[in-house]
Structure formats: structure tokens, C-alpha cells
Amino acid sequence: MRVAFISLGCAKALVDTEIMMGILSEKGHEITSSLESANVVVVNTCSFIDLAREETEQTVRDILKKGKKVIMVGCYVNRFREILKKKFPGLHSVLSTEEITFIEDALYGKEPVFKGYFLPSSRTPRLISTPPSWAYLKISEGCSRGCTFCTIPSIRGPYRSREIEDIAEEARRLEEQGRLEINIISQDTTFFGGDRGRKDLKALLEEVLSKTKKSWIRLLYLYPSETLLEILPLFSEKRLVPYFEIPLQHASKKVLKSMGRPWDGEKYLEIIETIRENVKEATIRTSLIVGFPTEGKREFLELLRWVERAKVDRLGVFTYSREKGTSAYALGDRVTKREKQRRAEEIIEIQKNIIAEKHEKMVGRIFDVLVEGQTPEGVYFGRSVHFAPEVDGGIYITGKAIPNKFNKVKITHSILYDLEGEPV
């Protein structure tokens, strides 16, 4: 059977998609990128916020209109399973995030009766869909934090860590396959092992580094915690990419407390300064939420001033989405949609100036760049350690480069979120 996949949402969901493709491929089914030629289209859905749900719903309706058999999988199913067949007449089958290994049954319209949680291993089939030079490595499932705005724990369940040796074995295999960058992902990477009573991210990184020889190891989704500071000495190993993605969400102590998040903006500035003092070439990325119900004008101004002081290298800004099932839902939605957007744009304008200044200082420098391939216009594109895949920009290379290899590139121009350079 020919099966096409559409993966919506985060990198963790993409790994689920790759697992389903791997299972079907091993069983003799053909994975196709063509929706037109596919017998069945699998949509791995997202339900994190309202915009994600809208994208999911529109995608499914569009494919059903084409007369295709559609299987809905993932977070949207976890949240709304009981109403899906009524909401999307003609839906072929549905699977939750915990049922993805039953994907072949779903092809034939069978829906499993599965109770429990799924945790992948290095032995789980997987057909990687990212460029040949890099891959994601998921080290856990679920989340056990109590952020008041977040639906993930109710959708994906509690935090479950994989075994260290098994993760390291998967990293070894990825490198053996030619992956020169391994991006470690989790809903909360710094909590790794916490469900077993011992946070042992340090031990995990030491094992992964020992089992690999040349790949970059990049950590994503780092919760602000003491564990983050404990692993800083490991960054003396050059293959551990000095990139810190720390979703801080806000700077106001009042807002952070109502979000169920730790500390305050001053403490976050201390953490950022500690990272910069201890890790050479540290790149810091964070994400912020504007328009939370307890964010008045004063709290927003505090956030603005924090952005100006922190001068983080990468910044994502999201408008608050009121979600049923979260404890913050009871707070209402006090900031208008228009005002949320205005606040987001104000922060983005400040950050544009910060990143322009930072990128300008990189002109003239030479970096190792992992070249992913060429754009449709024939320009080579790659990333240095300063850019994470999919969420950041990268480096456009004028001249001949070698794909899927590390290339020495001299930066010649800064173009806001991206850089230009030439091979040396």
C-alpha cells in the first residue's frame, strides 16, 4: 500500500512520524511524498494551542475533500478522540500518540484497544525524514511539570525517561548512518531521569559522547533549573554544541508565579550570565509568552526591559492561548487578541536590533558549517553551532560547498536572521 505522511507540530511529533514510516516500510508498504498517488494519508496532528488545532483541522478537511483515506494520529486524537468521526465524516481511522506502533492495523481500518504508555527504543523501526546530515534523538516522552498554561501533561502523560545505554546506542547508530549532528529532544531535557528519582542528564551526555566520535551533540528544550548549571563543565568537549534553548516564558515574578514557573527575570539573567562566563561561543535561545492573564502593562514593560538587558541570541514570541483543561483557564483571557499581537511585535522589533548587532560581529569570522544541501535557486545552505535546525536561520554559501559534511566558511554578510559566507 502507498502511504503519504503529513507531520504537524513539534520535532517530538516528527520522530513519531518517522517511527510510523519505519514500521510500515519494514512491513513492505511504500512511503510516498505524493498525496495524489497515495492510497492512504496519515496526518500526525498537533493540539497544543488554538492555531495548531486550526491547522490540523484544515489539513484533514482538505485531504478528505480530495477523496483520500485519512488516518489521524497524535495529540489532537489524544484530546478529542470521542468526537473525531462526527467532526470529520469519512475519517478512515485514528491513533493516539501511544498507539503509533499499531499504524499498520490503522491502514486496514482497525483501531487498537491499547491502555498504557509508549516509549521508543533504539530497536524501534524509524525512517528518518530530516536531511542526511542530521537527525533528532528523543530521550523521553511526556512531561511532569505543572505549568498552568500547558496542555502537554494531560495530552502526552507523565515524564518517562528512556534508558541511558539505549539512547547512547541509538546515537551511535545515527552517527554510523552518516548523521553529523544529533539533536537531543524531550519535552523537558533537564528533567531526564527525574521520573526514576535521579536527574542524570550529565550521565546521559557522558555516555552519548563516549559512544560517538565526530557528530555534534545539540541539546534542545532545557528547562531553567540547577541541572542546567551542573552540565556546563561538559561543554569543554567541543562536540557538545554550546547552544542553550531555555524556554523562560516571561520575566515578571508575578506572571511567572501564575504560570507555575520558577524564579524571576533577575535569576534568569544570572543563569544567562553564568552560561556566557563558562561556555565559550554560547548561543542562547528562549521563548516568551505575551498576553498571559496576569500580564498588565507594568508586567509587559518589565518583560520589554528584560529582553533589552538579556540580549539573547535567538528569541521566539508567542501570544497566550487560553486552553481548556489547564489551571490557567480559570484566569480568563484578559488581554485582547489585538493587544497580544501588538506586544509580540514590539518585542520582536527590539530583538531584531539585538540579533542584527550580534550577526554583524560575526562578519569576517570563519566557522565550521554543516552543509545540508542547496536551495531551489542552487545556493548551498548550512548551519554553524549557532543555529538549531528548523527553528533558526542559517548560513547561505556563495560558491561550491560539500553537502552533508563540515565545511570551513568565512562570513561575508549579515542578513538579519541569516548569514552569508564563502568557502575557505
Q: What are the chain's domains?
A: 2-107 (3.40.50.12160), 134-360 (3.80.30.20), 366-423 (2.40.50.140)
Report the pLDDT value the prediction gives residue 318, as an integer from 0 to 100.
Answer: 97
Determine what percent of the chain is predicted with pLDDT higher than 70: 100
Q: How confident is the model at residue 239 (pLDDT cuts 50, 70, 90)?
A: very high
Q: What integer is the mean pLDDT of 160-177?
A: 98
Q: List pLDDT tens digits, range 278-309.
A: 999 999 999 999 999 999 999 999 999 999 99
Check pLDDT > 90 for residue 201: yes
CA distances from 94 to 20, 102, 153, 167 (A): 13, 10, 21, 29
Determine what percent of the chain is predicted with pLDDT higher than 90: 97
Report the pLDDT value the prediction gives residue 114, as an integer from 0 to 100.
Answer: 78
Mean pLDDT of the chain: 96
Q: What integer is the mean pLDDT of 12-25?
A: 98
Q: How confident is the model at residue 172 (pLDDT cuts 50, 70, 90)?
A: very high
Q: What integer is the mean pLDDT of 229-252?
A: 97
- Considering the entire predicted model, what is its pTM? 0.96
Secondary structure of the chain in HEC code, one letter for each residue: CEEEEEECCCHHHHHHHHHHHHHHHHCCCEEECCCCCCCEEEEEECCCCHHHHHHHHHHHHHHHHCCCEEEEEEHHHHHHHHHHHHHCCCCCEEECHHHHHHHHHHHCCCCCCCCCCCCCCCCCCCCCCCCCCEEEEECEECCCCCCCCCCHHHHHCCCEECCHHHHHHHHHHHHHCCCCEEEEECCCHHHCCHHHCCCCHHHHHHHHHHHCCCCEEEECCCCCCHHHHHCHHHHHCCCECCEEECCCECCCHHHHHHHCCCCCHHHHHHHHHHHHHHCCCCEEEEEEEECCCCCCHHHHHHHHHHHHHHCCCEEEEEECCCCCCCHHHHHCCCCCHHHHHHHHHHHHHHHHHHHHHHHHCCCCCEEEEEEEEECCCCCEEEECCCCCCCCCCCEEECCCCCCCCEEEEEEEEEECCEEEEEEC
Q: List pLDDT tens digits, range 112-125.
A: 877 889 999 999 99
Check pLDDT > 80 for residue 36: yes
